[in-house]
Amino acid sequence: MAGLWDLVVRPDTFFARVSQEAIDLRPPLAIFAAGALLPGLVYMVIIVAYMVSGSFSSLSVTLQGMMWVFLKCNVSLPLAGWIIMSLWTWGISRGLGGKGSLAATVRDTGYGMMPWTLSIIAFVLLAIMLFVIGFAAPVTTGVMEEYAQTAYDTWTYLGLLFVIWQWYLWTLGVQHTQKFAFGRSAVITGIPVAVYLAFVIAAMASVDVTRMIMTGT
C-alpha cells in the first residue's frame, strides 16, 4: 500500500515493479472501495441538511432516491467498468500473444482506476464546500443553483482529463504485464476508452442542447 504513491507520480516504475511481484488484489480493491464509498459522505451531508431544514416529510423519498443513485453510479457502474475492461484487455491480449494472466489484468485494471478514486475525493470535497457555502452564507436558491451548475460543468470537463489519465495507467499495466510495446498497449486499452468518451461527449452535448431549448439561450 505504501508504494501507491509511485502509481500517481511514477506509474511506469510502479507497473514495472508490480508486474514482477506476486498478484495481490487487496490494494486495487481498496482503491475501488474508496472511490465507491466516499460519495456516501455527500449523502450524509444531504441528510443532515434535510434534518436541519425540518424537511422530514420528504426525507424518506429522498433517501430512497439517493440510495438508488449511490448503488448505481458509485458501485454498480464502476464495478462493471472494472470487470468489462479487465475481460477486454485480457481477451485481446491473449489473442495477440500476451503473457499476463487474468488475475494480473484485473489487478492492473484496478490500479488504473486510481484517477477515478482521486476524482471522487475531489468531488466529495467540492460538494461539501458547496453545502457549507449554502448554509453559512445568505445565498439565494438561484445563486446556489448557479454555483452547483458551474461546479458540475467544470467537474464534467475535468473528468475527461481523469479518464485520459486512467487510460494512460491502463496502457502501462498492459505494457508491463502482457509484455507488449506501448503503442500496441495504448490501442488495446484505447478502444473501450474511446467508446466511453464518445458516449459521454454525446450525452454532454444532448444536455447542453436541452438546456438551450429550455432556457432559450
In a domain, 115, yes or no: yes
Whether the per-residue pLDDT at 4 is higher than 70: the answer is yes
Q: Are 187 and 110 in contact (CB under 8 A)?
A: no
User: In Å, how far from its chain's centre is CA 164?
Assistant: 12
What would the pLDDT profile of 44-101 be if each residue is shown by its tens digit? 766 666 566 555 555 555 566 667 777 788 889 999 999 999 999 999 999 999 999 9
Of the candidates 23, 76, 69, the one whose C-alpha atom is nearest the C-alpha of residue 46 is 69
Assign 158 a pLDDT band (cuts: 50, 70, 90): confident
In a domain, 4, yes or no: no
Phi, psi of 21 (to 5 degrees): -100, 165
Task: Measure the CA–CA gap between 82 and 33, rounded to whole angstroms.
Answer: 12
Assign 121 a pLDDT band (cuts: 50, 70, 90): confident
Q: Which residues contact 180 (CB under 8 A, 6 or more apart)?
A: 93, 96, 98, 174, 188
Whether the per-residue pLDDT at 19 is higher than 80: the answer is yes
In a domain, 173, yes or no: yes
Task: Measure the CA–CA gap between 34 and 120, rounded to whole angstroms.
Answer: 9
Of the candidates 52, 39, 35, 37, the one whose C-alpha atom is nearest the C-alpha of residue 132 is 52
Q: Are 12 and 172 in contact (CB under 8 A)?
A: yes
- Number of domain units in the chain: 1
Domain that holds residue 152: 10-215
Whether the per-residue pLDDT at 211 is higher than 60: the answer is no
In a domain, 3, yes or no: no
**Residue whose C-alpha cell is 468518451:** 197
